[in-house]
Amino acid sequence: MFRWKATAAALAITALALTGCAGGDSGSGGGEGSGGTLTLGAITAPTTLDPAGSEWGNRSPFYQAVFDTLLLATPEGTIEPWLASEYSYNDDNTVLTLTLRDDVTFSDGTKLTGAVVVKNLERFKAGTSPDASYFAGVTSFEAPDDTTVVITMDAPNPAMLNYLTRDPGLVGAEASLDSPDVATTPVGSGPYILDTAATVTGTSYTYTKNPDYWNPDVQHYDKLVINVLQDPTAALNAIKAGEANGVRLSTNDGIAEVEGAGWTVASNELDFQGMLLLDRNGTQAPALADVRVRQALNYAFDREGLLAGLQNGLGTVTTQVFPATSDAYDPELDSYYTYDPEKAKELLAEAGYADGFTLSMPSSPLLGTSTYTLISQQLADIGITAEYTEPGQNFIADLLAPKFPASYFALEQNPDWQLIQFMIAPTAIFNPFKSEDPKVDEYIKEIQFGDEATQKSVAKELNTYIVEQAWFAPFYRVQGSFAVDANTTVEMVPTNAYPAIYDIQPK
């Protein structure tokens, strides 16, 4: 849901009676029955620990261990209070008022105040985070008193609450933000404190329990270690050797071995993989300006076969980019396009491309060489020649420049408005050709300025129209997997690749 108007009450967290410990050693943690060491595996290290340069996704645990966010995303898919105990909008949804908790201190002993939160929000907007643009429409951050923060926007932003559960909502202690060591020595109000002496930047990060944390019921361990395991083989070896309690799997290739080691795999379907048909204006590839050509591309792919061959069947075939947790989602749109090469060739002929054409695209070994081989084969079956260029580390930069009219890619399926601003709106980063359509523009306007009922219904209409107009050619929602050992439980958050620190617990 967009969750515009709700004013949230303070979040009551019930202590969980837990037994046992993880990671081999034991001790007394914050909540009843907790303690010991939690050792996690992550697939990528943070580039900085400065909140103003932070990211989310697979880097989120490094930040969430030290910093609290203003709001909290839950495994149930809701947005709840966290540092902000209440939140509400004005009548036209352009002013968001947050009421802060008055019992929070940072690990340097200073108190959480409205002024500190404002400083963090302003730094994020002006900072180096790839998500800094989330605050592009914010005209001011103000703190009328110590427990109030007011965010004023030039127009409604239905994703703002969701943003405050992620990196834009991280809050660091004021003094640390001006420190020359802000990138390596974070100071927050979170459940853990980074042990810089025991940390090897880029490789292994060690955290100790914050003794003064305002919410000890979610401190399930005395110590937290996050090891960077970029190589899938290294991750699998750590699992087999019992050197971790929870590991984010970068691929699903080794799941049978993971389960054979006595581990359990939790999953969500956060990303879709498929074709981005970016040049809908036909600037570089004139054929893509014709909707019949884009539809033909959708009929060209054997999605069931690709899912089986590339993902071991772990995922769900789809032809829509909105996630199943979205108000825009329509289960019937998962199968709007079937595998029908003959239909594809008919559409190409109608559009004047009976002899096919050449489609220029980037490639990357990180996305799997067999993937590009299969895509080329299925495009060739309808007369289209895939011409690949490998930009190396410039893959994303060249794609967004834009230097290519289309590309195979994997993208996060964000909540409704966030996805619109990410992939569909004329200003969206993954709409590099700035494609516009009068109907799409009208749908976006109705969603932005409408009430909750309007937002829900129009989001579905937008999704249907995008599928009919073949703005993309998705293949499937791929299973994202997080494995835990026999002593550990986890709940996945539907809107992030990595589970929240609070949702990983000892049995």
For the chain, give every domain's residue range: 37-263+485-506, 269-479
Q: What is the dihedral sign for C-alpha 309, 315, 316, 318?
A: negative
Q: What is the assigned CATH class of domain 269-479?
A: alpha beta
Please give the model's pTM, rounded to 2 decimal places: 0.86
Per-residue pLDDT, 35? 75
What pLDDT is attached to residue 11?
29
* Amino acid occupying residue 173: A
Residues whose CB is less than 8 angstroms from the CB of residue 11 and which lie 6 or more positions away in sequence, other chains included: 72, 80, 81, 82, 85
In the prediction, which pLDDT does 34 show?
A: 55
Burial of 344 (0-12, 13-18, 19+ CB in 10 A): buried
- How far apart (Å, rounded) are the C-alpha atoms in residues 130 and 28? 38
CA 161 to chain centre: 15
DSSP state, residue 422: I
339 CA to centre of own chain: 29
Q: What CATH topology corresponds to 37-263+485-506?
A: D-Maltodextrin-Binding Protein; domain 2 (3.40.190)
Per-residue pLDDT of the chain (507 residues; tens, 9 = 90+): 343 333 333 222 222 222 223 333 433 333 334 579 999 999 999 999 999 999 999 999 999 999 999 999 999 999 999 999 999 999 999 999 999 999 999 999 999 999 999 999 999 999 999 899 999 999 999 999 999 999 999 999 999 999 999 999 999 999 999 999 999 999 999 999 999 999 999 999 999 999 999 999 999 999 999 999 999 999 999 999 999 999 999 988 899 999 999 999 999 999 999 999 999 999 999 999 999 999 999 999 999 999 999 999 999 999 999 999 999 999 999 999 999 999 999 999 999 999 999 999 999 988 888 999 999 999 999 999 999 999 998 999 999 999 999 999 999 898 899 999 999 999 999 999 999 999 999 999 999 999 999 999 999 999 999 999 999 999 999 999 999 999 999 999 999 999 999 999 999
| Residues 6+ positions from 81 with CB-CB distance below 8 Å | 8, 9, 10, 11, 71, 72, 87
Distance (Å, whole) CA 313 – CA 305: 9
118's CB contacts (< 8 A; 6+ apart) are 141, 142, 143, 149
Closest by CA to 136, choosing from 145, 127, 147, is 127
Does the N-terminal peptide bond of residue 506 adopt cis geometry, omega within 30 degrees of 0?
no
Q: What is the dihedral of CA 93, 99, 104, 110, to 10 degrees?
A: 90
Are the beta carbons of 250 and 232 closer than 8 angstroms? yes
